C-alpha cells in the first residue's frame, strides 16, 4: 500500500485465464484452432451460394469465434502490459500473437468472399432476419471492397505481418520500456520523467526536460529507423490498395469522410492564434516573462491545486460527478472498483500512459493508469472510466458490432472528464483556485485539440516527405519543430534537444493518423455538452442510447437526435468556442 495514495488496485487477469501456462488457456487455443478448421471446411468458396439464413448462421459462428480469439489475444496483451521490460512476458505475448495469426489466416477467406457478393444479391439475402441483424457489420466490412487485393496476396500479407509492421511496433514498445532517464540520483522510466515536466519547481522541469531530450537523442537512430520503415511499409500497402492519400485508410476505418476530417483539421489550425497562441501568451504574462522555455508548457500556475489526492478520494470524485449526471452511468462505473478491473500504480516496466482495453463482450474491460495522485490523474481516471463504461454499455451489440469507430470512441471518455471537471469547478473555494482549475482545463483541452491536430499535421507532412526517400533524424526533427512553432505560437523558445521529442509518441507507430480522433472527440463533446446545458431534459437517455449503440450507427445518425452535424464546419467552430470561452474568462480573472 502506498501511504500517500492509499491502496492502489491492480488487475485480476484471472477473469480471462488462470495463468500463461494454465490448462484453460491451452484448451481454448486448441478449441479455437479446431473451430477455425471446421469453419473454413464448411464455408470456404461457398458463401455466395448461401441464402440469407445460411449466411446469417455463418456470421453467428464467426462472431462466437471472434469472442474466443479476442479473449486469448486480450489476455496476452494485458499480461505483457503489466511489465514490458520482462522478456518472458514479451515472448509469451509474441507467441500468442503468432498462434492467433495462424488461426486468423484460416478465417481470412470469409471477409474476402463477403466483399465479392454483388450489392443486389446481398440486398436480397438481407431480407432474412438471421442476416439482417448483422447489416451494420456487413456495411462496414464492405467499405474496404475497392481496396481489396487478390485472395493470395491478402493471405500472404496477413501471415507476414507478425514479422513486418507488428515486429517494428514491438521493437518500439520494448525500447521505450527499457530506456531510463537520469534525474539527480535516480534512473527514471518514461512516465516518471515526463511527470516531472508538470512539477511546480522550475529547476526540476528543466532538468527533466534536458534529461528526456538527451536520452531520446542518444537513441534517435533507432526511432528514426522504425519510423522510416513503418511509413514506407504503409506507403507500399496504400499503393497496392489504391488509397488516395496516407490518411484514407484511417478515415475509412473510422467510418468518417475525408472532408469531415479536413474540416476539423482546418478549423483547429485556423484557431491556433485565438486558442494556443493567446493562452500561452497569457501564461507567460502570469509567469512575469515575455517568452517561456518549452518545458514550461505544462508548468502549474502559482495558484495551482497541488494537493495529492488519495485513490479512494479520486474514486469518489469521479463516481459522484458521473452520478450527478446519470445514476445509471455511475452504476456501470462502480463495477470497475474493487473488482480487479483497474491497474493503477506506476511501476518500472509497466506500459506508460493510460488506456481502456475493451477485451471481449463475454468478459469486461480493463483500465490501465499510472496514478500519481495529481488532479490531472483524477481527470485521467474520469477519462478512462468513460471508455470503460462505453465499452460495457456497447457490449450487448456482440463481438462484431460493439466496437465504436475511433472518432466516436473518445466521446464517453472526454464527456466523463468534462462532468468531473465541472463538478470540481463548482466546489472551487475561491477565485485563485477557480483560475488555476480553468487554466488546467484549458491546457488539457489544448493538449487534446491543438496538440493532437499538430501531431496529425506532423504525420501528414512526414508521410508525404518520406515518399521522396528515407528521412534523416535531422529532417524529421525539422518537420517536428516547424509544426510545434506554428501550433504553440511565439510565447515559447525551443532548445536543440526538443527536436527529438516526436520520438516517444506511440500513436505514430501503432496507429498512424489516430491522433485526430482525440480532437474530434473533444470538439464533439464540447458541442454535445453545450447541447446538454441548453436543453438538459431527456439528454441523459439520448446520451446512454448513443453509447449503447456501439458500432451499429454512423456519426451522422448518432448526432442527429442532438441536432448536431459533424460535416458542417460551424459544428467544429462551436466546439472550439468552448475553449475560447474558458480563455476569455481567464483573461477577465
Containing H/E element for 560?
A: none
Contacts from 140-145 at CB under 8 Å and sequence distance 24+?
140/255, 140/551, 141/111, 141/114, 141/115, 142/114, 142/115, 143/252, 143/255, 144/115, 144/252, 145/115
Check residue 161 and give its pLDDT.
87
Are the C-beta atoms of 352 and 189 separated by less than 8 Å?
yes
| Rg of the chain, C-alpha, whole Å | 24
d(CA 10, CA 344): 6
The three cell numbers locating residue 264: 476539423
DSSP 182-245: EETTEEE-HHHHHHGGG-S-HHHHHHHHHHHHHHHHHTHHHHHHHHHHHHHHHHHHHHHHT-SS
Spatial CA neighbour of 472 closest among 210, 277, 228, 144: 228
d(CA 273, CA 288): 21
Contacts from 24-32 at CB under 8 Å and sequence distance 24+?
25/72, 25/75, 28/68, 28/71, 28/72, 29/72, 29/99, 31/68, 32/65, 32/68, 32/69, 32/72, 32/100, 32/103
* Helices marked H in 272-400: 278-286, 311-325, 327-334, 375-394
Beta strands in 73-209 (DSSP E): 181-183, 186-188
Check residue 571 and give its pLDDT.
87
Are the C-beta atoms of 292 and 283 separated by less than 8 Å?
yes
Cα end-to-end span (Å), the chain: 41
What's the longest Cα–Cα distance across the chain? 75
154-171 per-residue burial string, b: 16 or more CB within 10 A, e: under 16: bbeeebeebeebbebbbb
- CA distances 66 to 132, 310, 402, 503, 511, Å, are 19, 39, 12, 34, 21
d(CA 488, CA 491): 7
Q: How far is CA 85 from the centre of its chain?
A: 22
Averaged pLDDT score across all residues of the chain: 94
* Three-class DSSP category at 472: coil
Containing H/E element for 373?
A: none
User: pLDDT per residue over 363-413, tens digit each?
Assistant: 999 999 999 998 889 999 999 999 999 999 999 999 999 998 877 888 999
What is the arithmetic mean of pLDDT over 70-93? 96
- Name the range with the highest mean pLDDT among 154-158, 194-198, 423-427, 460-464: 460-464
Strand partners, 357: 366
d(CA 484, CA 3): 40
Are the C-beta atoms of 177 and 84 separated by less than 8 Å?
yes
Helix axes 516-534, 258-271, angle to 10 degrees: 80
User: pLDDT per residue over 467-509, tens digit each?
Assistant: 999 999 999 999 999 999 999 999 999 999 999 999 999 999 9
Q: Who contacts 478 (Cβ-Cβ below 8 Å, separation ≥6)?
A: 499
Count the neighbouring beta carbons within 10 Å of the beta carbon of residue 361: 23
What domains lie within the chain, and their CATH numbers? Answer: 13-152 (1.20.140.70)
The residue whose grid cell reads 467499405 is: 143
d(CA 205, CA 294): 10
Check residue 1 and give its pLDDT.
67
Pick left, alpha or beta for residue 554 (phi over 0 → left; psi -120 to 50 → alpha; otherwise beta): beta
Q: Who contacts 282 (Cβ-Cβ below 8 Å, separation ≥6)?
A: 583, 586, 587
User: pLDDT per residue over 274-317, tens digit each?
Assistant: 999 999 999 999 999 999 999 999 998 877 767 889 999 999 99
The three cell numbers locating residue 359: 477485451
Are the C-beta atoms of 449 and 436 separated by less than 8 Å?
no
Containing H/E element for 360?
A: none
- In the chain, what percentage of residues exceed pLDDT 70? 99
Spatial CA neighbour of 581 closest among 278, 267, 321, 300: 278
User: pLDDT per residue over 35-81, tens digit each?
Assistant: 999 999 999 999 999 999 999 999 999 999 999 999 999 999 999 99
User: pLDDT per residue over 146-161, tens digit each?
Assistant: 999 898 998 898 888 8
Are the C-beta atoms of 515 and 455 separated by less than 8 Å?
yes
The three cell numbers locating residue 104: 486468423
User: pLDDT per residue over 323-352, tens digit each?
Assistant: 999 999 999 999 999 999 999 999 989 998
Phi and psi angles of residue 492, each rounded to the nearest 5 degrees, phi first: -115, 150
Check residue 499 and give its pLDDT.
98
Strand partners, 368: 343, 355
The three cell numbers locating residue 577: 468556442
* Pairing mode, strands 292-293 and 355-357: unpaired
> What is the arrangement of strands in the sheet containing 342-345, beginning at the earlier edge strand?
342-345, 366-371, 355-357
Are the C-beta atoms of 93 and 166 separated by less than 8 Å?
no
The full 3-state SS of 417-454, as one line of letters, equals HHHHHHHHHHCCCCHHHHHHHHHHHHHHHHHHCHHHHH
Amino acid at each position: 500500500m502506498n501511504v500517500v495514495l492509499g491502496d492502489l488496485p491492480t488487475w485480476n487477469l484471472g477473469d480471462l485465464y488462470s495463468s500463461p501456462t494454465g490448462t484453460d488457456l491451452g484448451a481454448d487455443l486448441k478449441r479455437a484452432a479446431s473451430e477455425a478448421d471446421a469453419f473454413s471446411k464448411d464455408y470456404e468458396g461457398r458463401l455466395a451460394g448461401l441464402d440469407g439464413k445460411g449466411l446469417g448462421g455463418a456470421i453467428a459462428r464467426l462472431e462466437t469465434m471472434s469472442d474466443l480469439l479476442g479473449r486469448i489475444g486480450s489476455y496476452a496483451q494485458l499480461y505483457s502490459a503489466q511489465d514490458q521490460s520482462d522478456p518472458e512476458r514479451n515472448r509469451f505475448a509474441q507467441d500468442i500473437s503468432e498462434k492467433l495469426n495462424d488461426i486468423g489466416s484460416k478465417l481470412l477467406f470469409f471477409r474476402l468472399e463477403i466483399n465479392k457478393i454483388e450489392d443486389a444479391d446481398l440486398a436480397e439475402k438481407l431480407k432474412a432476419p438471421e442476416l439482417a441483424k448483422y447489416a451494420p457489420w456487413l456495411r462496414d466490412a464492405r467499405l474496404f471492397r475497392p481496396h481489396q487485393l487478390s485472395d493470395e496476396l491478402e493471405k500472404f500479407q496477413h501471415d507476414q505481418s507478425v514479422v513486418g509492421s507488428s515486429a517494428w511496433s514491438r521493437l518500439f514498445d520494448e525500447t521505450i520500456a527499457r530506456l531510463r532517464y537520469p534525474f539527480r540520483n535516480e534512473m527514471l522510466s518514461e512516465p516518471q520523467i515526463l511527470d516531472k515536466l508538470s512539477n511546480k519547481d522550475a529547476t526540476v522541469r528543466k532538468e527533466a526536460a534536458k534529461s528526456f531530450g538527451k536520452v531520446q537523442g542518444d537513441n534517435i537512430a533507432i526511432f528514426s529507423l522504425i519510423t522510416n520503415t513503418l511509413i514506407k511499409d504503409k506507403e507500399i500497402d496504400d499503393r497496392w490498395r489504391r488509397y488516395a492519400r496516407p490518411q484514407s485508410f484511417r478515415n475509412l476505418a473510422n467510418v468518417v469522410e475525408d472532408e469531415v476530417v479536413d474540416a476539423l483539421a482546418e478549423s483547429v489550425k485556423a484557431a491556433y492564434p485565438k486558442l494556443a497562441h493567446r493562452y500561452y501568451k497569457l501564461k507567460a504574462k502570469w509567469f512575469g516573462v515575455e517568452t517561456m522555455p518549452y518545458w514550461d508548457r505544462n508548468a502549474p500556475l502559482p495558484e495551482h491545486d497541488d494537493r495529492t489526492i488519495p485513490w479512494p478520494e479520486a474514486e469518489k470524485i469521479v463516481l459522484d460527478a458521473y452520478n450527478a449526471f446519470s445514476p445509471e452511468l455511475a452504476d456501470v462505473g462502480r463495477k470497475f472498483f474493487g473488482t480487479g478491473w483497474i491497474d493503477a500504480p506506476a511501476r518500472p516496466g509497466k506500459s506508460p500512459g493510460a488506456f481502456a482495453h475493451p477485451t471481449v463482450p463475454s468478459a469486461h474491460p480493463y483500465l490501465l493508469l499510472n496514478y500519481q495522485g495529481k488532479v490531472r490523474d483524477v481527470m485521467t481516471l474520469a477519462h478512462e472510466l468513460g471508455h470503460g463504461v462505453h465499452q460495457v454499455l456497447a457490449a450487448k451489440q456482440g463481438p462484431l458490432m460493439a466496437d465504436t469507430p475511433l472518432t466516436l470512441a473518445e466521446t464517453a471518455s472526454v464527456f466523463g472528464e468534462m462532468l468531473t471537471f465541472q463538478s470540481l469547478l463548482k466546489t472551487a473555494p475561491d477565485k485563485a483556485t477557480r483560475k488555476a482549475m480553468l487554466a488546467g482545463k484549458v491546457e488539457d483541452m489544448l493538449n487534446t485539440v491543438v496538440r493532437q491536430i499538430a501531431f496529425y499535421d506532423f504525420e501528414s507532412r512526414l508521410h508525404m516527405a518520406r515518399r521522396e526517400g528515407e528521412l534523416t533524424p535531422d529532417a524529421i526533427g525539422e518537420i517536428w519543430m516547424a509544426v510545434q512553432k506554428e501550433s504553440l505560437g511565439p510565447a515559447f523558445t525551443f532548445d536543440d534537444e526538443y527536436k527529438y521529442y516526436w520520438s516517444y509518441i506511440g500513436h505514430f507507430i501503432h496507429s498512424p493518423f489516430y491522433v485526430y480522433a482525440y480532437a474530434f472527440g473533444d470538439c464533439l463533446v464540447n458541442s454535445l455538452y453545450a447541447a446538454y446545458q441548453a436543453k438538459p431534459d431527456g439528454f441523459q437517455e439520448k446520451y446512454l442510447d448513443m453509447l449503447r449503440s456501439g458500432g451499429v450507427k454512423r456519426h451522422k445518425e448518432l448526432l442527429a437526435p442532438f441536432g448536431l452535424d459533424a460535416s458542417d464546419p460551424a459544428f467544429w467552430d462551436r466546439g472550439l468556442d468552448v475553449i475560447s470561452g474558458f480563455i476569455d474568462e481567464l483573461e477577465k480573472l
